[in-house]
């Protein structure tokens, strides 16, 4: 059940606040990045992606920022809701071959009502 979030860094926010989750990636050759949300008892769920030729992409209530100079990704969630409580992972993909995803360590987001 709750084991996905154990031992992970945790971010606690109040409902309605904006949340920012950060991620450092490892490979400068990575050309595609994805943010996933994983709720208890479920597999990772796609949130938003960004290609390396962009530095910002917006979705519904979410924005991803990419800084290739320092190999840093962030996920911004606007007006955070209790349903946003989950573990968030960034993943990088190196083009070519098997499309292997390399996941970051993850951040547990807890939204307090």
* Contact status: 10 vs another protein (CB under 8 A): no
* Contact status: 104 vs another protein (CB under 8 A): yes
**What letter would DSSP give residue 105?**
-
Q: 39 with 29: CB under 8 angstroms?
A: no
SS3 content of the chain, % helix, strand, coil (to 5): 5, 50, 45
**Which of 28, 54, 58, 100 touches another protein by CB under 8 A?**
100
Torsion angle of the four alpha carbons 4, 40, 101, 104, in this order, in degrees rounded to the nearest 10: -40
The nearest distance, CB 69 to another protein, in angstroms, is: 22
| Both structure tokens of 81 | 């809701």
The nearest distance, CB 75 to another protein, in angstroms, is: 14
The nearest distance, CB 62 to another protein, in angstroms, is: 16
* Contact status: 60 vs another protein (CB under 8 A): no
Applying CB under 8 A, the residues found at the interface with another protein are 3-8, 32, 34, 36, 41-46, 49, 89, 91, 93, 95-106
């Amino acid at each position: 059940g709750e084991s996905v979030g154990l031992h992970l860094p945790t971010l606690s926010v109040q409902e309605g606040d904006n949340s920012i989750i950060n991620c450092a990636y490892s490979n400068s050759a990575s050309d595609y990045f994805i943010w996933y949300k994983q709720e208890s008892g479920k597999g990772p769920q796609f949130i938003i992606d960004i290609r390396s030729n962009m530095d910002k992409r917006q979705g519904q209530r979410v924005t991803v920022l990419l800084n290739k100079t320092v190999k840093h990704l962030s996920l911004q969630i606007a007006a955070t809701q209790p349903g946003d409580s989950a573990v968030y992972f960034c993943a990088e993909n190196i083009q070519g071959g098997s499309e292997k995803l390399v996941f970051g360590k993850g951040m547990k987001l807890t939204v307090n009502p």
